[in-house]
Amino acid sequence: MNSESARRPEKIVKYKPNNNIQSTQEDLTPDYLNILGMVFSMLGLMLKMKYCAWLALYCSVISFANSRVTEDSKQVLSSFMLSFSAVVMSYLQNPAPIFS
């Protein structure tokens, strides 16, 4: 019996992640949806448009779902709260459903 190990240390290669793909293809969809959500929530609040308020909530949820881990969560949370308040205020001022 041979007491040597069957491992070959010269064949071990340290893993190096390829960062070239991530840096060239930056997805700006969450940023655009965040801005769109803020615009729609302002329209929903100022013009009392329920469609815009619901669309703002939809955009902010999608923006939150697609946001990166390194992104500041305060902006996404404020966009979500603004769109949620637009939906609440539009129904408090006019409690009739949209399709009436």
Closest CA to 43 of 57, 29, 30, 31: 57
CA distance 45 to 63: 20
- Answer whether residue 11 is part of any domain: no
**The tokens 């779902």 sit on which residue?**
65
Give pLDDT tens digits for 44-88.
Answer: 999 989 999 999 999 999 998 888 777 778 888 899 999 999 999
Domain count, the chain: 1
Range of 87's domain?
Answer: 28-93
- Tell me the pLDDT tens digit for each residue of 9-53: 888 888 887 776 555 567 888 889 999 999 999 999 999 899 999
Residue 65 lies in a domain: yes
Q: SS3 for 5?
A: coil
Q: Residue 22: inside a domain, yes or no?
A: no
Give which of 53, 27, 28 is closest to 41, Cα–Cα: 53
> Per the domain annotation, does 37 fall within a domain?
yes
Question: Are 41 and 59 spatial neighbours (Cβ–Cβ below 8 Å)?
Answer: no
Model-level pTM greater than 0.85?
Answer: no
